[in-house]
Amino acid sequence: MEIEPIAFIMNDYMEKFGVPRQSGLVSLCSQIVLEPKFCDENAMRGLEDFTHIWLIWGFSEAKTDGFSPTVRPPRLGGNVRKGVFATRSPFRPNSLGLSVVKLVSVDGFSITVTGADLMNGTPIYDIKPYLPYADSVPDASNGWSLAEHKGRLAVEFPMELSEIIPADKRQGLTETLAQDPRPQYQNIPERVYTMAFGEWQVSFTVDGEQLTVIKITK
């Protein structure tokens, strides 16, 4: 079966570094823009009645050389192997991702959502409504990935730097930084990391549970 993108996503995550590791963790807005072939208003009818939707999308930046049955999840330090089907690694037999996002609005053939864990330009292959009575399993086990979730970092954002970022994007950037964009195995307090966010380059350091923004440039 051959599949083609029905849409592409537009947001401020310009590279893989900094993209939230799971959906729903950051409230930054993204736009889903349908391809001309699928711009039929009948296809959108009733979508605005839902609060959340599922996105089926492609890991367009993940390149693989054949099938690997195991991967090394970064959140486990990159040294522990797990079965690929027991992870959400982008390096999969078929490079497909699945994310649930909050639906903000439907404007013509553009859909505004929050909580996306996709970088700018990611192809979307399908959109489906999220059904709480069927899709939510409150007592589900986290399995080994329970170790992946950790508390957020405290973000120190000097006023003179925070004002460089427009107010409507500032919260999303702060939430993204609080998730700790660094690889799990890197913990060097004096190292400066730089993340692309929209038209800006955001540089920061991390010491313990404190992330400090030190420079923002265009």
Task: Tell me the average pLDDT across 157-162.
Answer: 91
Residue 119 has pLDDT above 70, yes or no: yes
Res. 146 pLDDT band, cuts 50 70 90: low
Encode 112-134: b = buried (16+ Cβ within 10 Å), e = exposed.
ebbbbbbbbebbbeebeebeeee
What percent of the chain is predicted at pLDDT more than 90?
A: 73
Dist CA 28 CA 173 (whole Å): 8
Res. 48 pLDDT band, cuts 50 70 90: very high
Residue 111 has pLDDT above 70, yes or no: yes
Task: Tell me the average pLDDT across 169-182.
Answer: 94
Dist CA 170 CA 188 (whole Å): 26
